[in-house]
Amino acid sequence: AQTVTQSQPEMSVQEAETVTLSCTYDTSESDYYLFWYKQPPSRQMILVIRQEAYKQQNATENRFSVNFQKAAKSFSLKISDSQLGDAAMYFCAYRSVLYGNKLVFGAGTILRVKS
């Protein structure tokens, strides 16, 4: 079974600075998808960024980028120019291509942004 581990329960960053959230996963599959979701106090899960395992290039969405290291099974999220609105719980998630009807989530990292 696949597992996702987020080793940082909580992180803090100064407004306008850069922060990196860590995620590792375990799988025997070669093809899969990885995601970062943001959950603000409103509780709604919002997709931040998505990476397909067969793509070498790291995904980027505006201020958000990932460092995907397939051999190391690592998938970190970098947030540049942090804003107060980035404060939330961040979840790393895995989805199999073969058995792709569910997301497997990590335990989450709380991100606090200081002004």
Q: Which residues bind another protein (CB under 8 A)?
A: 4, 42-47, 50, 91, 93, 95, 97, 99-108
CB-nearer residue toward another protein: 54 or 99: 99
Q: Kindly state the smallest distance separating residue 15's Cβ from another protein, in Å.
A: 26
Q: Kindly state the smallest distance separating residue 65's Cβ from another protein, in Å.
A: 19
CB-nearer residue toward another protein: 75 or 91: 91
Say how far apart CA 10 and CA 94 lie, in whole Å.
21
Say how far apart CA 101 and CA 50 lie, in whole Å.
16
CB-nearer residue toward another protein: 16 or 109: 109
Say how far apart CA 105 and CA 75 lie, in whole Å.
13
Output the CA–CA distances (angstroms, integers) from residue 6 to 45, 99, 101, in the order listed: 17, 22, 22
Q: Kindly state the smallest distance separating residue 29's Cβ from another protein, in Å.
A: 14
Q: Kindly state the smallest distance separating residue 63's Cβ from another protein, in Å.
A: 19
Specify the DSSP element, H or E, that contains 113: strand 109-114
CB-nearer residue toward another protein: 1 or 71: 1
In the three-class reduction of DSSP (H, G, I as helix; E, B as strand; rest coil), residue 48 is classed as strand
